[in-house]
Chain A
Amino acid sequence: MKNKKRIWTIVRIAIIVLSILVFTPVVIPKGVYTPELFGMPYTLWVGMVIYFSFLILILIGVSVHSKIYKEEEND
C-alpha cells in the first residue's frame, strides 16, 4: 500500500511538472519549428510526446488509485 501511495504521489507530481513544462519555451519556443520529427514541426511532435506521457500517467494513475481508494460500492 505504501508503495502504491508513493507511485500515486509521483504520478500527480509528474502531471503538474509536465503541465508547467508545456508553457515554457521547451515545448512552445516562439517562432521555432525545428528540429522536426518525421517532417512534423517541433511543437507538434513534442506536444504529441507530452500527450502520450499524460496517457501513460493516466493508465498508471488509474491502476494505483483504484487499489488505494477502493470504493464502498459493489464494483
Chain B
Amino acid sequence: MIKWFWIFAGLFILLLVVVSTKAMKKNKSINDFMLAGSSVGAILGILTYAAALFSAFIFIGIPDFFRVHGVGAWIFLAVADGVMFFMMFWFGYHLRKKAREIGYKGVAGMMSVIFKTRWAGIVVFIAAFIFLIPYVAIQIRGISMFFIAIFPNALPHYGWAILIISIMLLYSEIGGLKAIVFSDAIQAILLLVVLSIIGYNSVKYFGNVEDLFNQVKEIDPALLSTPGPKGLFTTQFLIASFIAIILLPLSQPQFSSRIVIMKSMKETYKMAAGIGVVSVVVFISTAFIGMYGAARYSNASTQEFVQNALLFDQPNVVAALAIVGLFAAVLSTSNAQIFALGSEFRSLLEGADEKANFKRTKIALFIFALIVLVTSILIGDELVLLARMSFAGTSMIVPIVLIGVISKRKPGMEIIIFSAISLLVFLLTLFNIIPSVLYNIRVDLGLYILLLIMSLVSVLVRKTHSTEKQSP
C-alpha cells in the first residue's frame, strides 16, 4: 500500500505544481487571481462546486453518519442537496444579474453596496468567519488524526495540520482561485472514483444489496428507519438541517463565488444540472459504505471504522488512492473556504488602491490559515454535527443576502438587525447560554420561522410605503 501511496501522492503533488504554475501564468490581473477571471466552464464548474461541497465531511463524516444513525442520513443529505442544486441556478440567476449591475468582489462587499451601509457586509463577514473557521479546522483535525493512525511515527497531529495548511497556502497564494479550481477538479475526480469503488466493494462483500441490509437488520433494525437508534433524525432536526443545507449557495461565500465565476448563465445551468447527476454516485456510495460499517463495525469508533472500511478492507491500490483522495479533499475544501473568507475580506476594504487592498487580502489569507491551524489543534471530533452547525450558523444571514439580491428597492436596516440578532441567539445556544430547544421547538428552526416572517413583513411594508409615495 505504501508503495502505491507514494506513487499517487507524487502524482498528486506534481499535478498541483503544474496547475498552480499554469494558473499563475494565466493570471493577468487581480480579478483573475481572486475570481479566476470569471471564465469557468460547466465541467470545471461541476467539479469545483463538488469539491467545495463534498469534503472530508462526505468522505468520512457521512458514511459514519449512516453507520451510527441509519438511513435517515439520506434525507439529511441527499434530499436537502437535491433542493440546494435547484436553489443554485434559481438564486444564481439573480446573483449573477446583480453582480453585472453593481460589480462583485465578494458577497459581503456586495451587500454593503446594496444596503448602503457597511453593517450589512460586516454581519455577512462575521457569520462566515465564525462558522467557517471551525468547519475547516475540524476537517484538518479529522484528516490529521487519520494520518497519525496510518503513519504513527511520521508526524504529530499539529505537524500534519501544518503540512496541509502550508501546501494549501503555497498553491493558493501562487495561483489564486484558478489554481484552487483546477486542484478542486483533481480532488473531485479522485473522490468520485474512490467512493464508487469502495461503495461497490461494500455491497460486494455481502453479495448484494439485499444481503447487506439483511445483515444491518440483524445488528440493529432501528438503523433502517427514522429517527434512528439514537433518535437524532427527528422531524424538527431534519427540517432545520434541510433549511440550512438548501440555503448554502446564499449563505456560504465559497458557493456564491463559484456561481459568480462561471463564464455565463448557460454554464451555470449546466453546472446545477450536472452536479445533481454526479452527486447520485456520491450519495449512493456513502450510504452503502455506511451500511457496510453498520453491519461489520457497529461498535467501533469513527476512526476504527474509517480506517477499516476505507483502507484495510480495500485492495492496496484503492486504499492508497483513498489516502491521497482524503488528503486532496481536505486540501481543496479548506482552501475554498479560507480563500472565500479572503475574498469577503477584500470586498469590504475601502479605498481605490487595488494593489494595497490585494496585499492586505493576501496577509489576511495567511492570518485566517493560522487561526484555522490553532483551532484545529483545540477543536472536538464531531465532524458532521460541526458541519451542520456551520451550515445553520451561516444561514442566519440569508435574509440579508436573499433580499439584497432579489429586491428591486433598497432593503431596510431592520433586515440586518434581524439577522444579526438571530446569529447572536444561535451562537448563545451553542454555548448553552440559551437552551437549544424552547417550548419543544428547536431554536434554529424557530429562528428560521421568525426570520421568514420578519423579512416578509419588512418587504411588504417597504413595498406599500414606496407605492404610497409614488401615488399622487
Contact = CB atoms under 8 A, between A and B. Distances in A.
Interface of A: 15, 19, 22-23, 27-33, 36, 38-44, 47-48, 50-52, 54-55, 57-59, 61-62, 65-66, 69, 71-75
Nearest first, the 9 A-B pairs at minimum CB distance are: A39-B210, A54-B82, A33-B224, A41-B224, A71-B265, A47-B74, A44-B71, A75-B266, A28-B226
Interface in B231-251: 233, 235, 238-239, 242
A39 B212 CA distance: 8
B225 A55 contact: no
Given A39-B210, A58-B89, A66-B266, 14 more contacts: A19-B83, A29-B225, A38-B209, A39-B212, A39-B214, A43-B74, A43-B75, A48-B284, A54-B86, A54-B276, A61-B90, A72-B100, A73-B264, A75-B266
B293 interface: no
A15 B86 contact: yes
B131 to A, nearest CB: 24
Contacts of A22: 75, 79, 238, 242
Given A19-B242, A22-B79, A41 B213 contact: yes
Nearest to A33: B224
Contacts of B265: 66, 71, 73, 75
Contact of A54 (B72, B79, B89, B284): B79
B78 A47 contact: yes
A33 B277 CA distance: 27
15 contacts: A15-B86, A28-B235, A33-B217, A39-B210, A40-B213, A41-B71, A43-B74, A43-B75, A48-B74, A48-B78, A62-B273, A66-B265, A69-B93, A73-B264, A74-B264
B311 to A, nearest CB: 26
A17 to B, nearest CB: 12
B1 interface: no
Majority SS at the chain B contact face = helix
A43 B242 contact: no
B273 A59 contact: yes
B280 interface: yes
B258 interface: no
B17 to A, nearest CB: 34
Given A23-B238, A59-B273, A75-B264, A65 B90 contact: yes
Contacts of B74: 43-44, 47-48, 51
Which of A43, A62, A71: most chain B Cβ within 10 A? A62
A55 B84 CA distance: 11
A37 B139 CA distance: 35
B276 A55 contact: yes
A58 B85 contact: yes
A33 to B, nearest CB: 4
B83 A54 contact: yes
Contacts of B242: 19, 22-23
Contact of B89 (A50, A55, A65): A65
Contacts of B284: 48
Contacts of A59: 273, 276
Nearest to A11: B86
Contacts of A75: 264-266
Interface string B62-78: 00000000011011001
A74 B273 CA distance: 21
Contacts of B208: 39
B169 to A, nearest CB: 34
A1 B97 CA distance: 21
A50 B287 contact: no
Nearest to A52: B280
Given A28-B233, A71-B264, A75-B266, A51 B93 contact: no
Nearest to A50: B79
B100 A73 contact: yes
Contact of A30 (B78, B221, B226): B226
